[in-house]
């Protein structure tokens, strides 16, 4: 599950390195291993949070600034259709309802969205990139790498939240982490110890039954 509230408890560097080593066993097309990882802790994490939160606030104050932002790639469709838009709405209003955020409450919506750019208070932020020369299949490879990382984290008592929200701020993120011009930001990831007392972590998204997405052929 995606955890959206973390404790300030630090995560040892050795533990993170071990998780990344486990994740690196993910399969990839012809063993290209396209992922590149940047781990942010301490001052580097906090400075990125300040930069992106400032840009997020500026975009709200001036919608033209927000509209001018170009995501690293099209994570979401340009035109939403059912059933995907229905699931998206169910997810969004389910979360907002739990948090007491009503439709039209733009202040609270903005603040909640900005929690992404604070890594939900997790002490570790991770950015994953790939080389722009690679094809779309490398995004599948990165997905398997990330899943390995997230499952391994749970095995060590840690939690995560994969975040596509960061791709809108690639112009800030990539220079901050020292990425090259040839790199494309795939996503960010929050890593740490879940806060069990925060009600946001009681939110569990529904899943379609197997019968709805599977065709059996004999």
pLDDT tens profile 86-133: 999 999 999 999 999 998 899 999 999 999 999 999 999 999 999 999
Residue 41 lies in a domain: yes
Residue 91 lies in a domain: no
Residue 149 lies in a domain: yes
Q: Which residue has the tokens 């170009």?
A: 70
Residue 161 lies in a domain: yes
Range of the domain at 22: 13-66+118-202
Residue 37 lies in a domain: yes
Residue 48 lies in a domain: yes
Supply the CATH number for residue 125's domain: 3.40.109.10
Report the pLDDT value the prediction gives residue 79, as an integer from 0 to 100.
Answer: 95
Q: How confident is the model at residue 72 (pLDDT cuts 50, 70, 90)?
A: confident
Q: Label residue 68 exposed, middle or buried (CB < 10 Å: 0-12, 13-18, 19+).
A: exposed
Residue 99 lies in a domain: no
Q: How many domains does the chain have?
A: 1
Report the pLDDT value the prediction gives residue 58, as an integer from 0 to 100.
Answer: 96
Which tokens hold the place of 172? 């800030």
Residue 20 lies in a domain: yes
């Amino acid at each position: 599950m995606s955890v959206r509230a973390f404790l300030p408890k630090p995560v040892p560097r050795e533990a993170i390195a071990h998780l990344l080593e486990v994740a690196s066993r993910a399969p990839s097309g012809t063993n290209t291993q396209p992922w590149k990882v940047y781990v942010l802790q301490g001052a580097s994490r906090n400075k990125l949070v300040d930069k992106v939160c400032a840009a997020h606030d500026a975009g709200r104050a001036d919608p033209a600034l927000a509209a001018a932002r170009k995501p690293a790639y099209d994570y979401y469709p340009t035109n939403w259709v059912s059933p995907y838009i229905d699931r998206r709405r169910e997810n969004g209003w389910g979360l907002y309802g739990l948090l007491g955020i009503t439709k039209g409450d733009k202040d609270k919506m903005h603040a909640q969205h900005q929690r992404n750019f604070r890594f939900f208070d997790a002490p570790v932020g991770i950015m994953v990139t790939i080389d722009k020369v690679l094809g779309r299949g490398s995004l599948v490879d990165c997905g398997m790498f990330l899943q390995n990382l997230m499952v391994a984290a749970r095995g060590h008592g840690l939690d995560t939240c994969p975040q596509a929200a960061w791709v809108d701020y690639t112009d800030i993120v990539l220079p901050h982490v020292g990425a090259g011009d040839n790199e494309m930001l795939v996503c960010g990831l929050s890593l740490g110890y879940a806060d069990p007392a925060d009600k946001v972590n009681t939110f569990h998204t529904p899943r379609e039954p197997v019968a709805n997405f599977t065709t059996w052929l004999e």
